[in-house]
Amino acid sequence: MTARRLLLLGAPGAGKGTQAERLVRKLGIPQISTGDMLRAAVAAGTEVGKGARAAMDRGELVSDEIVIGVAEERLSQDDARGGFVLDGFPRTDAQARALDAMLERMGTPLERCVALEVDTDELVRRLLKRAGIEGRSDDNEETIRNRMRVYRDQTAPLVAYYRERGLLREVEAAGPVEEIEKRIEEALS
């Protein structure tokens, strides 16, 4: 694998977090998950967290301004200079353009976007299972269905955006975790 500045793109439940963890161990670079950072802010009760919580509880996206600010702060840290795996950011065209500009300023442009492709019924099944295991309040069936609509409307168009830039690799993300990991490694080579 030669690419070290990576973006994992996919619907909620596609396995971005699971595969990001595997890439992080293999490449020795940090996973940058805006979802995790926002949930931490919610748990800590920060102002960012309060604003994020209302949107997350409705299954909506947190505002671009908040997400971009959190991401820029994290990508500026020393451990991200040698590479990173973005998980859950960007989610909108505006965020993608802001990310490109931010990374260009930092001299660390994105090298590859891996789109994890999974059937919608499988995604819903995965998310309901995860909700039961983790007790996540943002994963009930109504919210999951709304998140799928939001993804389809706002985030799925990023596949075309990164394809046009020559950075996209699409990977079938159904099946055993290890097989998906191998497909991703092949896509990054």
**Active site residues per annotation:** 16, 91, 130, 136, 147
Closest CA to 14 of 167, 137, 170, 153: 170
Closest CA to 34 of 5, 76, 74: 74
Closest CA to 32 of 97, 95, 98, 77: 77
Structural tokens at position 62: 């947190």
Burial label, 77 (beta-carbon count in 10 A; 0-12, 13-18, 19+): exposed
β strands within 59-148, DSSP E: 84-87, 112-117
Q: Which helix (H) or strand (E) is 116 found in, with range?
A: strand 112-117
